[in-house]
Structure 1
Amino acid sequence: MTAMDPRSLRNAFGTFLTGVTVVTAHGADGEPLGFTANSFSSVSLDPPLLLVCLAKSSSNYDALTNASGFAVNILAETQKDVSNTFASRVEDRFATVDWKVGPNGAPVISDVAAWFDCSMHNVVDAGDHAILIGEVKAFDTGVANGLGYARGAYFTATQEVSSIQVDSETIISALLERDGKLLFLEDDAGQLRLPSRTASKGTPTKELAALLEEAGIPSSVGFIYSVYEDESANAQHLAFHCSAGEGDSKVGSFLSLTDDVLARVKDSATQTMLTRFAREAQKGNFGIYFGNQESGEVRKIALGE
């Protein structure tokens, strides 16, 4: 086998779409340290383990491989500057970010999509890198979407939504979820509907943002959950799965998708969609529906065993 060109190999590895993290710890002198990494993966749920790879050429190599623990901060899509800071040779990387000491002692960066504070489970030698395996001792998840990375460039869920174009009357609906419950609006007869707006041309970003703003709580756009043509209403429907943070909504109520709640949903096509959503949410394996108000197909978008 001929020698591989390192740059070409790195470019090939870079075609894999990943999230962006900042790995943090405290050095032997007690000072915080950290670096940007996309070589992150969950490993196990029982016990809760994750891993991240660290180059042996890193200035933080000795400190991190000898640390009692570390944190993995999954950056939000608005934190490209944080990624760039921790990927550069800045003397004090923590001077420009808001952070605190996590429950297990590692630095935790504010406003990230999620963070995991870990004890060091194992350090595995792996060529020109070391694999740091951490046991999760504490974690938290926000509502922000994670920052994506592929082929040397960032990408975000918001960019994906902004690229969608509609050129006819389209009903935009939000499946605004919090702790397994969805936000519903109720009419005088007790019937339920999802927060919705109508768009006629351009991108649905403005209408979707307005729906989330009306709720008045922290939230973020996730992914398209359903696309279908309502032939009877001569309109297209786009439903987006969104995440909601804490606080009381200014409109409607968050309700569990029980049989009683589903029976009160006014539109039959929406009722069918929500029945599927309730089933898929139990396993976290979602799909996108394409079709019309009566029939179509579901294309899976999540991997699972």
Structure 2
Amino acid sequence: MMIALVIFGLIIFFYLLSLAADFVVGNSSKIAEEFSLPLPLIGLLLGILTTLPELSLGISSLEHGVPAMSAGNLLGGIFVILSLVLGLNIISNREIETDGNWHSLIPLAVYLLLPAGLSLDGSFQYFDAIIMIVGYLVWLAVSYFPKSRGLKISLLAINKKSLAKQVFFIITGGIAILVFSDIIVSLSLFLLKSFNIYPFLVGVLVFSIGTNLPEISIALTSARKKAGSLSFSHLSGSAAANVLCLGLISLGGNMVTGAGRGAASWAYGGILLLLLLFLFYSYDSGKKFSRVEGWFLLVFYAVFATLQIFLVGQL
């Protein structure tokens, strides 16, 4: 009975966490539009902000002594974003246009592959964290700074009263995210002790979906409004922000992933590489993602999840 209540509590608090994140994102988006930021930069901003639950859960996981749960959440989140969420978005929207230039994805792909290589020894050290943080800045410089040239913001045209209200809402939502995250980690620890499950596996399969509910919501909203460019720029920004969060959380040094040093780590890197190569092909084929390619992305996620279930913990 107690276990059923804990599982029900997790579902409720993950839902509340997604609402709080959505609240923060919604008000931040209004501020971005008030400043008349370009669509790709708004997508980047949304990607960073929707990663707040992952960062908050990571901090709570460290405080409770289960860093592997956070590592699984962030690493699994990359697959959830680029295969599950993107695939569902493509299927619901039938097709999403791209610029057809797959070369623009190379910096993102290189950055997303960093954790796969750095985690082969079963942990993230301080030096690994620095590489991921600096890598994020390099990715920003290559991918987004050129698009911000010539950007002009008129402060006189901004409604300062409305801006203050939105900032207050963002802070309130951020506090709610911290509280809900701590409760989620506490409830998860009860389940870990009851079933003796690998914390990394819980992060990969459960947390990664729960914390990406805002991404799923925004992706489907973008699909309904046929704003494909916002959806893809947001999702790519969110995937990159996952690696940044992993770097920030790993600054303490020796963050054990709990996936083992063998098959699970190699499988993660191998499937991620294949997924990115598939995205290169899809991005370049006809300048749009087709519905068939969306289904293939869902298959990638299913294969990834299955391999992690059978391989996590094996040497």
Q: Which structure shows the bigger proportion of residues in strand conformation?
A: 1
TM exceeding 0.5: no
Q: TM-score range by the shorter chain?
A: under 0.3
Q: Which structure shows the bigger proportion of residues in helix conformation?
A: 2
Give the greater-gyration-radius structure (CA).
Answer: 1
The normalised TM-score by structure 2 is: 0.24
